[in-house]
Each structure stands twice: as C-alpha cells, then as structure tokens.
Amino acid sequence: MKERITITLDKNLISQIDKRIDGIGIKNRSQEIEVLLAEALGTNIPSKAVLLVGGRGTRLKPLTDKLPKALLEVQGKTITEHLFDLLKKYGIRDVVLCVGYLKDKIKEHFGDGSRFGMNITYVEEDEPLGTAGPLKLAKKYLKGSFIVSNGDELKDIHIPRMFRLHKRKDALATIALTTVDEPSHYGVAKLDGSRILEFVEKPTHPLSNLINAGFYILEPEVIDMIPDGFSMLEKDVFPKLAQLGRLRGFPFAGQWFDIGNIERYKTAEKSWKGISQFEEEEYELG
C-alpha cells in the first residue's frame, strides 16, 4: 500500500533526479525518489548471497597445492574478502559459502564471519558438484531472491540496479554481463534487448563482447530445475530458462577480473582498484 506525501527539494537535487528518468525503468520523479530511498535503506535487494568457493583451482597451481583459491590474496586481502566488500557495500551480510577443496582451511580462516562483518553459513561438498549442485544443498537457506557469485573473480556491480531489472522483467535468473577484449575465451551472450537467447561457449566469431561475469540473481524456483549430482548453471539450467524467456542479462561498466589462471591473477593484483565507494552509471537493456 502506498501513501502520497509532499516534499520540498533543492533544484540541484531535482535536476539530478530528472537525469535518471529514462522512460523505461524509471518513468517519473516519484518513482525515482522511491527507488533511491529503497536503495539507501537496503529494502530492494536480495538479503542473502551464495559464494561458490569449492573449486580446486588447478590452473593456479602451484599456488593452490596447499591453499584454496578462496584464500589467495589480491593486494593484501583474500579474494573472498573483496567479494564481502561488494556485498557489504549494499548492506548484504548473510552469506552461504559453498566449500569443497581444502574446506577446513576456509572454515578456520573465516569462522562465523563476525570478524569480517558477515554472517556465514557453510555448505560442504563431499565431491565436486559444479556451479549448480551446491545450490541444492543450500536450498533450505534460500527462501527469497538470492545472489550467486563465482569465488574466483573480482567484480564491482551495482546490485540494486541489477535487481531492479530482474524484478521488472519477471526473470527467474539474471546474469551480470561484462565486456572483454577477447570474448572467444568465454561464453558470449546472444541478446534480444535484455533477454538472453543463448550463450555461445568460446565462439570462433563472437557476435558480441558481452560475457558471463559469474554473478547472478536467482529465484528459489531455479533450484528445483537443478539435476542431481554434478551440474552447471551455465549448461544445465540457464539454457532451460532461456527457452522459457525467463533469463535476463545485466551489462555493467564496473571492474571485473577473472582470476582463473596465474596470468590473470597477476593482472588482477596489478590493476584491481577495490570496490568503488561511488556509484558507477550502469545501463539497462529493455
């Protein structure tokens, strides 16, 4: 239920509000003010995130012979802590860590999360389950819209805007998309507006340079679509959602670094600027 109020604002503030009205997602001043207040109060974003940190990191050997990827450091802070920083920026403090390889070291380091300003729950894989399988183990913790992020990437994404697109388009899953110079190394998105028609894995002649950034907003119904055992969101779930027209893409302009191998890890160590304290302008597709 909504209630009408009257407010008085400085002309400069009104001018800034008007710049955000795009006629698509935001149609008038009242709607934009409501969005800004909701973002400031943290009421329009998922309250829980799942971080997939169970991988063996074989392409990062010998660094991962005795240390899980989750505890590798970039600029003096573990990769996982950088992901915590992104979540905390938007008031998200409840996180599920899906652990597998060297899981005891991860649990010992992070504990219950209080030392890092987080509330951590652990889901343990006895054998590798891919990017989708662990979500079935975490089902009882995921009652509303939730975030899933790969644990071997650094990213700076405007989560409230991504969630706004997700809800406006009634998506079951929304994938953050970033641009890279060599998309043929990744899964490339084929789009119709914001609707993802398909991903073409490592194409020889990419149709775009928008790739899967390993950061998703999902609805709980998606968990019921995951097959038992080892399964991948990218291959076993997202194609089904694309066929249903319930898979959306959110291109973002913030930083993104893949830390999947030694060369990329060194690039991130040199170039990562940390989570921005100021909002970057993202763009939404229709």
* Closest alpha carbon to 80 in 47, 118, 37, 29: 118
Amino acid at 34: E
Separation between Cα atoms, residue 78 and residue 61, nearest integer Å: 17
3-state secondary structure of 274: coil
Cα 55 to its chain centre, rounded Å, is: 17
Q: Is 283 exposed, middle or buried (0-12, 13-18, 19+ CB in 10 A)?
A: exposed
Q: Within its chain, how far is the Cα of 171 from the centroid?
A: 15
What DSSP state is assigned to residue 269?
A: H
Active site residues: 202
Q: Hey, is 270 helix, strand or coil?
A: helix
3-state SS class at 254:
coil
H or E element at residue 86: helix 79-89
* Cβ neighbours, 10 Å, residue 129: 23
User: Which backbone phi and psi does 264 adopt, to 5 degrees?
Assistant: -70, -35
